[in-house]
Structure 1
């Protein structure tokens, strides 16, 4: 009899211990989640991310643009010289509620070993902070087996130059930043586009942040842009993936958004095309060109 009582007592103690353990783990997880949000590392505002006069001039030039409800993705420059292109496309895409903005751009300095890098962070802007969509970022890291790399984003203007415009036009939105190093190939574009197609929240906007031809005279840049336009129209991602700075500074960002558009049956509209030569007071011998695209 005593043995049975002892055994039953032991079972009760084990059950109580298990309940206490599970409750403790649940509380710890909640505390960790709260802590994670409160200690997101900050990425400070920098001149390459924001120029006050340029920014508000661009906002003013976009005031007559009518917001549209069916734009799912856009391609914008990250060169602040043409901030009006960024603002114009953001304004055009602001006709519906946007909760998450995915920004894809080049990892200009190839910081870190990741082919596709992202991070959990909060970007500082004059209008307040813009935080990452932590759930989406963590899913990305888990599904694609990538590592978070905060340091790759501290000075990366392909993301930083876009965030102040996101804050202005989509003030409540969170972001998922992805930067792509120069070793990426079309398979990486397919991998990213497939993941986005399966995981994008309903109220989301995808932005490819990329400039086009670099360091060429205007005539050569214009010729190259004609070829690039043809590849975009044909959605020839194989050819685009092999391009260099003579054509586009982030071919895999461009290929990714074209592949995503193909998967989702989206049409492409060229909204802007220009060259830094036409925006500069001193006409440079070396130029940068730009396309602004919208996908419906």
Structure 2
């Protein structure tokens, strides 16, 4: 199956020249580190692309990446795995890691499904960055919606059983949405404190208790469970920002953050 890009030219440049220029201007000079997982934002590149590129370029992008993000459209399965084929990007098509997808969908947790991915942007905006950093990358796209903490833990366990040492988990998430900058900064700081502490239960409590509209909180919780099972002891906040710095509107901002879960 071939997935044609749904938001190229809207969320990120459709031409390889423009996409390459943006990415090359936002790369870091630091040598890339070994990582179990990363958390990257997924808004339009003009708002969050710098944070996404900076964070992704700080880790080694292996040939296999499992992408986990929120399902914004409500289409498809609750945990939807794109099973095979390829995705279009400005830098050429990216192959789906069908073997990893098959391992995930052999569990009753996950469903082989394309409907959830047709118009979903949360994973698509990250794929060109991965392709640029590793032209040989193969991806396993997964979208989730409305999972309990028990299911998040189960998904983390499944990821731990499927991922080898040459697989990176990439979580797609923006932070708080459409409140003023000071409120968003306070809410984001609380959610990020739980993420950096590798405490998925505290993340769930904080997001619920403070009414934080962090759209990737569920994928992040599953990734935290996975990282702890893999022995992660060090996390790193690479950048936290919000849309107001670009738009000039500080009354209704969206927060963005990059996090590395080190090996």
- TM-score with structure 2 setting the length: 0.88
| Residue aligned with 2:106, SS | helix
* Equivalent residue number for residue 210 of structure 1: 173
Q: Deviations over 1:124-179 (max 9, x none)?
A: 01111011100110111112353222121111111110111111011101101110
Q: Which residue of 1 aligns with 2:199?
A: 236
Cα distance in structure 2, aligned partners of 1:54 and 1:135: 29
Decide whether aligned partners of structure 1 residues 49 and 141 sit closer, same or farther in structure 2, where only a CA change above 3 A counts. farther
Indicate conservation of the 8 Å contact 2:3/2:88, yes or no.
yes
Cα RMSD of the aligned pairs, angstroms, is: 1.9
Q: Distance in 1 between matches of 2:199 and 2:89?
A: 37
Matched-pair contact (CA < 8 Å) for 2:37–2:261: yes
Residue number in structure 2 paired with 1:50: 12
Q: Which residue of 1 aligns with 2:113?
A: 149
For 2:257 and 2:213, locate their aligned partners in 1 and report how far apart those are by CA, in whole Å. Answer: 11
SS in 1 for 2:255: strand
Within 1, Cα distance between the matches of 2:74 and 2:48? Answer: 24
**1:198 paired residue among 150, 153, 161:** 161
Write out aligned runs for 1:215-294 (5 A).
215-241=178-204, 243=207, 246-266=212-232, 267-280=234-247, 282-294=248-260
How far apart are 1:54 and its partner, in Å? 6.4
Task: Output aligned runs, 1:96-245, within 5 Å.
Answer: 98-112=62-76, 114-120=77-83, 121-144=85-108, 146-181=110-145, 183-241=146-204, 243=207
* In 2: Cα distance, 1:59 partner to 1:106 partner: 27
**Structure 1 residues 192-230: Cα deviation after superposition (integer angstroms, max 9, x where no partner):** 111111111321111101000001100111111221132
Q: CA deviation at 1:247?
A: 4.2
Partners of 2:86 and 2:50 lie apart in 1 by: 25
Q: For 2:10 and 2:169, how far apart are their aligned partners in 1?
A: 22
Separation in 2 of the partners of 1:148 and 1:252?
A: 19
Please give the secondary structure, in 1, of the residue aligned with 2:88: strand
Whole-angstrom distance in 2 between the partners of 1:89 and 1:131? 23
Larger radius of gyration: 1
* Structure 2 counterpart SS, 1:68: coil
Deviation at 1:260, TM superposition (A): 1.5
How many residue pairs get aligned? The number is 251
Matched, 1:92 2:58: yes
